Structures are given as C-alpha cells and as structure tokens.
Structure 1
Amino acid sequence: MKSVLIKNANIVNEGQIIKGDVLIEEGYIVEIADSISMKSANTKIIDADERYLLPGMIDDQVHFREPGLTHKANIESESKAAIAGGTTTFIEMPNTVPQATTIELLEEKFDIAAKTSWANYSFMFGGTNDNLDEILKVDPKKVAGLKLFLGSSTGNMLVDDPKTLENIFSKTKLLISAHCEDETTIKKNLAAYQEEYGDDIPMECHPKIRSEEACYLSSSRAIKLAEKTGARLHVFHVSTERETHLFTNKKPLAKKKITAEVCIHHLWFTDQDYKTKGSKIKWNPAVKTEKDRDGLLKALLDDRIDVIASDHAPHTLEEKNNNYMNAPSGGPLVQHTLVALLEMYHKGKISIEKIVEKTAHNPAILFQIKERGYIRKGYKADLVLVDLNSPWTVKKENILYKCGWSPFEGTTFKSRVTHTLVNGTVVYENNKFANKSTAERLTFDRE
C-alpha cells in the first residue's frame, strides 16, 4: 500500500487546531508533527496548503436501502455519496427488504458491503416483538447495535409489546438505538386531520401530527425503561427542545448509559420551510419549530446531545411527489451533512472543533469503535481535507445520490471536501473518485 504524506494542514483533533503534517503507512497514521520529510519515493504527497484536516465523519444512522429497495438507493451509490461528503464510516439500519432481523439476513448485508461499499461499515440488527432469541445470538464485538422502532416502523418492526420491550432491555448486551414516537398519539392526531382534509393534508401539518407530545412520551418512556433495567440506550434523531431536558451533561460520554443524537435536518430546517420544500423535508420525526431547532443546537453545544448524524433515507422523486398520505418520510442527506455543518460554523453557530467532536470522536466513543474517529498515531487513517473558502451550489449534476435530488438543491455552501481517505487510501480527490476504496467492516472494543 502506498504511503501518504499530508503537509501544511490545519489539523482539527480533540478540541485543538494545530498546523502540521500527517504521515500514513499501511492504512495507519504513523506520525503527526510540525514538519515531516518524505520517507520514500513511493509516498504520495498532498499539500493541504492550510486547508483543514478532519477525522472522517462516522454517521451512526443511515438507510442505504439494500437489499430490496434498490430503486431508491444501494450501498455502493450511497457510500460513494458519503465519501464525497466527508463521511468515511456509516452504520446502516435494519429496515430493508427483507429486514435484518436474523443473523443470516444481517450477514447477507455485510457480504454486500464487503463487495461494494466505499466507506467503512457496520449494520444495526433489528428487533421485533418476537425475535429475542435471535437478538441474544448477536456478537457485540462484530455488530454496531440493536435498532428498535418504538414508533413509525416498516413491516413488522414496530416493537410495541411492553413485556417484550422489558425483556429486550433486560437481557441484551447490545447498545440499543431507538426511534421514539408514540404511535397512539400519532394515530389520534392523524385521524383528526384526515377528518378535516381527507388524504390531501397540508404538508405543514406533519409536525402537528407527529407532534412534540408523541416524541416526548416515547422518549421519556424508553429512558425510564433503560433506567429500570440498566440497558444502554441511544435515542436517535431527537427533534424537540422539550426532549433535550431528558438528557444530561453531568457525566463524560464514556460513562453515560443514556445518550442522544440529533440530525442535520433538525438543526437546519424549521416548520416554515414546508411552504417551499413540501414533502422534500417530510421526515419522521418531523422537522418542527424554530424554538425546537434552537433548543437542539443549545443541547448539542452543552453536551446533553452527544452526536450528529444524517438519517440519510432516500426515496425517488416520484414517491416524494405524492400527497401527504402517500409521500414517504425521509430524504437523502449524507453527501451534504458536513458542508451544512461547516455553513453553520461560518454563521458562528458552532466551532469546527465541536463539529469534529460530535461527528467523529463521540460516535467512536459511544459505539466503542476500534481505532477510528481521531487523528492519532496508531489509528486508521480515515481523513477528510476541507477547503473552507471554495463556494459551490448544490445542483442536480453534482448530486451523487441514486435518487437524484436533495433538499439542499439550490443552496450555496462556502466549504467543500477536496480529499477523502479511507484506511489510508485516497478515494476521493478534487471532485473525482480516485482509487477503489479499501473499506472495512467495523470492529468494536467491547466485552
């Protein structure tokens, strides 16, 4: 494997920005110093020219739609979009077709990724009301965790039996990641709006149907169950200011038993954007008010919320262009998450150091991912070089998602990703995919 020397970079790592060089050999970072001389004629030199070198993003929640839904996306297409956006590692969800609710079906997804993924990968195992025996077979050192849908599921993945939930929480050693929305509340709200509008419910009603109350009821219930059973719980895509008060910043992340994630769309959009974006910003949980958006950012900055993710969940435009009742929730985001966060940096809302903490360091800590998430000697060289002053506009021709659209279409970002390295290999360079990725299955430092 060719060695790589990155020179003259602003290295962002562990709360600091230092100017220096990084040497990579055999996929690992072997030296970080003020100045490093070329060791071999076989070394590829990248002059960063004072651009910013970040650990690659670790996105802990994506839906890449393979197997079974590949008209929307697949692991190859979406992992390439991730690489172009500065995400070098992803954790994918189990609600594919078939659902990853047995060891055999889970390993089939790993086999696909081993052949086609451009980014490092792991997958969540899916819980149901009747697969506890299978859950207990999962090796925590080889699988990211267990995904439970406590609301808004596809197929039979809604886990709504209280006894089953308590059994799972009590017996699994896996980290439990949960989608929290109360189905009873949502169904009641939906019935009221259907009575008024039929199937043509205005898209602006989405956050009233999938309401703050629905989110809070489910999140608080899951947290109480985790506290009762001692389970390790991670609440996905927190979307309301009210929910942020369920989480604490009194402990360091490594000692927390209950953690939280926020997604880029809940930090960027508000309910006012439904007027222009319509179903393109229809997600579950819903994008809510400006107060909620500001409260989520505050909780992120004060460390009640631990990580930022994309919840990348593509659908075709044809599917999204249906009326409210028939337009699926979710949208493609993984290519644009980092540049959107850097736009927030330019606006003075968040520091680059905090972005790195929440997108790389903290996911590595939270999931106990081995040798990733930092720019450290002895760690895998998953790295991203970004130019903070190279404006570009999101257009159809530069969107890499298989579905071909983005809720950010027409947005101009000041920053761009110029290079992405996966396990020491330069796989993306100046808007082109360079070498075939050397992506790897994640391993975990767990008992």
Structure 2
Amino acid sequence: MKTTLILHANIVNEGKVFQGDVLIKGQHIETIGKDLSSVQADTVIDANGRYLLPGAIDDQVHFREPGLTHKGTIFTESRAAVAGGVTSFMEMPNTNPPVFTQALLEDKYQIAARTSLANYSFFLGAANDNLDEVMKTDIRRVCGLKIFMGSSTGNLLVDDLTTLEGFFSRYPSIIATHCEDEATIRKNTADYKAQYGEEVPVECHPLIRSAEACYKSSSAAIALAKKHGTRLHILHISTARELELFDNTIPLEQKKITAEACIHHLWFNEADYKTLGTRIKWNPAVKTRHDQQAIFQGVLDDRLDVIATDHAPHTWEEKQNTYFKAPSGGPLVQHSLVAMLEFCRQGRITMEKVVQKMSHNPAILFQIEKRGFIREGYFADLALVDLDKPWTVSRENIRSKCGWSPLEGVTFQAAVTHTFVSGHLAYADGQFNEAKMGERMLFDRKLS
C-alpha cells in the first residue's frame, strides 16, 4: 500500500494543538508520532509548522445532481469541497427528481462512486406519501432522513400531521429538518405583496421568512421528537430565540436533539442585503445582527453542535432576478473552513473549537465510522492549512460550477494547501489528483 509521511505539523485534534508527524498507509492513519523522520515512505511532505486538521465533514450540501446540473454536479462541487479542506459531505434530496425512493437514492450513490472526489453520503427525502419506502432504509449506509417542514424548494413540503407523526414515531435513525412554518410565510408574503406588488425589496426576506416562522416550526419539530423519542437534528438555525430550544448540559453522544449553524448565518446579517442583495438570499433567511451574534454564541457554548454550509449553487443569471424570481441559496463549501479560521484570527473562536464543530461533532452526531478525528486506524481525511498565506476570493479561483460567491472580494489569511481524502492526496497547492474517488461513508448504528 502507498505510504505518505507528513512531518513537522501542528496537529489540531481533540481539544489540543501539538507538534507531530503522521504516517498514512493506504486509506488509513498508520502512526502518529513525535519523530518519524527516519520512517521510509513513498511520499514525504514537510508541513514546516503548518496546521494539520481532520478534514471537515459538511452535513448539509446541495450538489444539484441529477436534474439541476447547470448549477453544479457532484463532480464539480466535491472538487470545490476538497479545495476547501472539506473531505466528506452529506447531500440533500431536493434534486430533480426528488429522492423519495430507494432506487433514486442508489442512483446518487452510483454517480458519487464514479465522480466524487470527496467522501459522500445522501439523505433520503420524506414526502407526504412515502413512509413505507423510507422504512426500507439501511441506516448503516445512509446518513439520515430529510424532512422539509417548510417548502424551501420544489414539492418537498411535508405538511400532513399524521404523516409527520409516522416518520417521527417509526424512523429508527436521524431525522434532519428544515424548519420554517409555511402558513406564516404565506401570510407574510401576501402582506408584503399587498404593499409592494411583485417588486418586494430583498431586504424584506428576513421579514417574510421571519423569526416567528422559524421558531414555530422548530418548536413543533422538537415537540414531536420529544413525544416519540426521535433522534432529531435541526438544520441551519437562524434566530436567537431558537437557541432556547437546545441543551448544552449533556455530552453530544447523549443528545437526542441537536442543531446546526451555517457559515452564512455566522458571517452575514441583514445590513448586508444592501450591498449583496439576492446573493445572500437563503432559506432560512439571514436575519439581524442580534441573531448573528446569538448564533455565534450558541456555537461557542455548545447549544449548536455543528457548523455546515447549506452549500446550494445557482447560476449567476438566476441570482440576478428580482426578489421572488431569484432562487434561495449560494455556494460556500470551498470557503467554510477558511471563513472559520478567519474568525480564529480575530480571536472570536479557537482552532480547537472549529475542529470540534466541523470535524469531530459531525462524526459523533451521525455516528460515522472511523472519520472526523486524527487517530491511528482512522481514515486519513486530513487538511493541511497555512495560516499565513493571504488570498482573495475571486471568479478566477472559485471552484464551484456556478463561478460566483457571496464572499468575492474577501481576503482570507489562511489557505488550505493539501487535502487527503481516505488516504489519497486529492488536492495539493492548487492542483487536483482525480486518480481516486472518495468513499461512501458508513455509520456505526444498530437497529433498536
């Protein structure tokens, strides 16, 4: 098996930063040591004091394949992920057609096996009429079930209470939810259309998809989960008020209800609509500075368990439409890790905490087999980062197929120089090695 030796790294892992070397053999980490320079290896990389992190695991992306490949593909978006130190992703079911059946789910796995440079898993989507199909899921090979409790896109809204009760009472693993109350959004939309007609300003987005809509839906999901003992994960928390719904007094391994923060809710607030417009139109919406600050605090105090992106590319032309016509979502997977490292540079969060939220906790929360940590015997999913290598986001260096980013013009001080995916050096100094694809993630779960 091919061996790679990484020397003189500052290793960030499990709450510590320490100097050390790492020997990779095949797909796995063979040895972590203090002085392995005498070990023979096929490839030797001198980290020269750069920081070695476990690769980020993004638990919420939209890579658009099948059916929406003019926006992105599993190939193009996984390359963007790897360029940003994201070694594994979990992708959502709102493709075309929506992934409501085991056959359609398997089709996506087959595409990823051929084309994904990163490790992968895919959510099955819930619909108002596919409970029997959902119950066929092999929870050891599929990350979870996604329920849109708010019609973010397409026809994925699950709004029948009896159906929701069925999913929450019977599905034996993680249910991940998009929580926005549809009736509240429809009423707010009608109110703003009455005022502005079809020319509603984009600044109204957080008022239409309001804090009230988020809280009402999130609290309803949690009530269902508590009633049935469901393992519930609420995605992209966007309001300060929702934080009261989550617990930080017990270890993550014991939590039945968990939650996610996304990069855009940490980076932007409502003042940014004036300059960025529909480029920062997401569902749930970017809201107030108070909400932004509260979400960051929720990450620090462990009420919010993971940091992800909700990476959702659209073409530049699509995003240039007026408010109602411009789709929600934007590309972020290439820049999530360096964005968090920028917060580290500002003294707002430690690098150890970033690794916890982007690598360790997704692995714990989803019970991923042998990933998310720098440990002997674990898969070698690693990102080597230079903290003093400034670069500016531009159309020339954006890897997503859509070719734009809401972060264009931002200068980051840190850069990902090398990314290992299951032991394979997939990215080095701006160049990709596509000789080997990523692996399907497996989950250490047992049917109760």
- State the TM-score, normalizing by the size of structure 1: 0.99
Deviation at 1:199, TM superposition (A): 1.2
Aligned-partner residue type, residue 221 of structure 1 = A
Aligned-partner residue type, residue 374 of structure 1 = F
Mean alpha-carbon deviation: is it higher for 24-33 or for 6-15? Answer: 24-33
The equivalent of 1:176 in structure 2 is: 175
Mean alpha-carbon deviation: is it higher for 385-394 or for 430-439? Answer: 430-439
2:135 is the counterpart of 1:119? no
Q: In structure 1, the residue corresponding to 2:29 is in which secondary structure?
A: strand
2:178 is the counterpart of 1:218? no
2:31 is the counterpart of 1:31? yes
CA deviation vs aligned residue, 1:264-304 (integer Å, no higher than 9, x gap): 00000000000000000000000001100100011110101
Deviation at 1:37, TM superposition (A): 3.1
Q: How many residues align?
A: 446
The equivalent of 2:147 in structure 1 is: 148
The equivalent of 2:76 in structure 1 is: 77
Deviation at 1:30, TM superposition (A): 1.0
CA deviation vs aligned residue, 1:195-249 (integer Å, no higher than 9, x gap): 1111111111000000000000000000010000111000000000110110001
Distance in 2, matches of 1:276 and 1:52, equals 34
The equivalent of 2:57 in structure 1 is: 58
**Aligned Cα root-mean-square deviation (Å):** 0.8
The answer on whether the counterparts of 1:118 and 1:436 sit within 8 Å (CA) in structure 2 is no
2:187 is the counterpart of 1:188? yes
Aligned-partner residue type, residue 24 of structure 2 = I
1:332-411 paired onto structure 2 within 5 Å: 332-411=331-410
Distance in 2, matches of 1:113 and 1:384, equals 21
Deviation at 1:154, TM superposition (A): 2.9
Identical amino acids, percent of aligned pairs:
61
Structure 1 stretches of 5 or more lacking a match?
A: none
Q: In structure 2, the residue corresponding to 1:354 is in which secondary structure?
A: helix
Deviation at 1:405, TM superposition (A): 0.2
Q: In structure 1, the residue corresponding to 2:284 is in which secondary structure?
A: coil
Distance in 2, matches of 1:221 and 1:272, equals 30
Q: In structure 2, the residue corresponding to 1:89 is in which secondary structure?
A: strand
Q: In structure 1, the residue corresponding to 2:396 is in which secondary structure?
A: helix
1:88-99 paired onto structure 2 within 5 Å: 88-99=87-98
The equivalent of 1:9 in structure 2 is: 9
Could you say if the C-alpha distance between residues 435 and 98 of structure 1 is closer, same or farther in structure 2, counting changes exceeding 3 Å?
Answer: closer
Distance in 1, matches of 2:316 and 2:2, equals 42
The answer on whether the counterparts of 2:152 and 2:283 sit within 8 Å (CA) in structure 1 is no
Distance in 1, matches of 2:434 and 2:130, equals 41
Runs of 4+ in 1 over 2 A off after TM superposition: 37-40, 152-156, 434-438
Distance in 2, matches of 1:274 and 1:442, equals 37
1:260-271 paired onto structure 2 within 5 Å: 260-271=259-270
1:128-139 paired onto structure 2 within 5 Å: 128-139=127-138
Distance in 2, matches of 1:133 and 1:141, equals 18
2:85 is the counterpart of 1:86? yes
Mean alpha-carbon deviation: is it higher for 155-164 or for 407-416? Answer: 155-164
The answer on whether the counterparts of 2:56 and 2:358 sit within 8 Å (CA) in structure 1 is yes
Distance in 2, matches of 1:168 and 1:146, equals 9
Distance in 1, matches of 2:425 and 2:86, equals 13
CA deviation vs aligned residue, 1:92-137 (integer Å, no higher than 9, x gap): 0001001111000000000000000000000000000110000100
The equivalent of 2:303 in structure 1 is: 304
Deviation at 1:157, TM superposition (A): 1.2
The answer on whether the counterparts of 1:58 and 1:88 sit within 8 Å (CA) in structure 2 is yes
CA deviation vs aligned residue, 1:377-426 (integer Å, no higher than 9, x gap): 00000000000010000010001110010000011000000000011111
Distance in 2, matches of 1:175 and 1:443, equals 14
1:183-262 paired onto structure 2 within 5 Å: 183-262=182-261
Deviation at 1:38, TM superposition (A): 4.2
Distance in 2, matches of 1:113 and 1:389, equals 34
The answer on whether the counterparts of 2:202 and 2:273 sit within 8 Å (CA) in structure 1 is yes
Distance in 1, matches of 2:95 and 2:303, equals 31
Distance in 2, matches of 1:266 and 1:437, equals 34
Q: In structure 1, the residue corresponding to 2:66 is in which secondary structure?
A: coil
Distance in 2, matches of 1:379 and 1:115, equals 23
Distance in 1, matches of 2:324 and 2:291, equals 25
The answer on whether the counterparts of 2:117 and 2:434 sit within 8 Å (CA) in structure 1 is no
Q: In structure 2, the residue corresponding to 1:421 is in which secondary structure?
A: strand
Distance in 2, matches of 1:75 and 1:444, equals 21
Deviation at 1:43, TM superposition (A): 1.9
Deviation at 1:27, TM superposition (A): 1.1
Aligned-partner residue type, residue 13 of structure 2 = N
Distance in 1, matches of 2:102 and 2:27, equals 30
Aligned-partner residue type, residue 57 of structure 1 = A
CA deviation vs aligned residue, 1:12-66 (integer Å, no higher than 9, x gap): 00000010100010111111111113433x5200100000000000000000000
Deviation at 1:435, TM superposition (A): 4.6
Aligned-partner residue type, residue 155 of structure 2 = N
Distance in 2, matches of 1:248 and 1:380, equals 31
Distance in 1, matches of 2:254 and 2:422, equals 28
The answer on whether the counterparts of 2:115 and 2:437 sit within 8 Å (CA) in structure 1 is no
Deviation at 1:366, TM superposition (A): 0.3
Deviation at 1:434, TM superposition (A): 3.0
Q: In structure 1, the residue corresponding to 2:290 is in which secondary structure?
A: helix
Distance in 1, matches of 2:38 and 2:92, equals 42
Q: In structure 2, the residue corresponding to 1:245 is in which secondary structure?
A: helix
Structure 2 stretches of 5 or more lacking a match?
A: none
Distance in 2, matches of 1:98 and 1:186, equals 25
Mean alpha-carbon deviation: is it higher for 393-402 or for 151-160? Answer: 151-160
Distance in 2, matches of 1:37 and 1:50, equals 15
Q: In structure 2, the residue corresponding to 1:360 is in which secondary structure?
A: helix
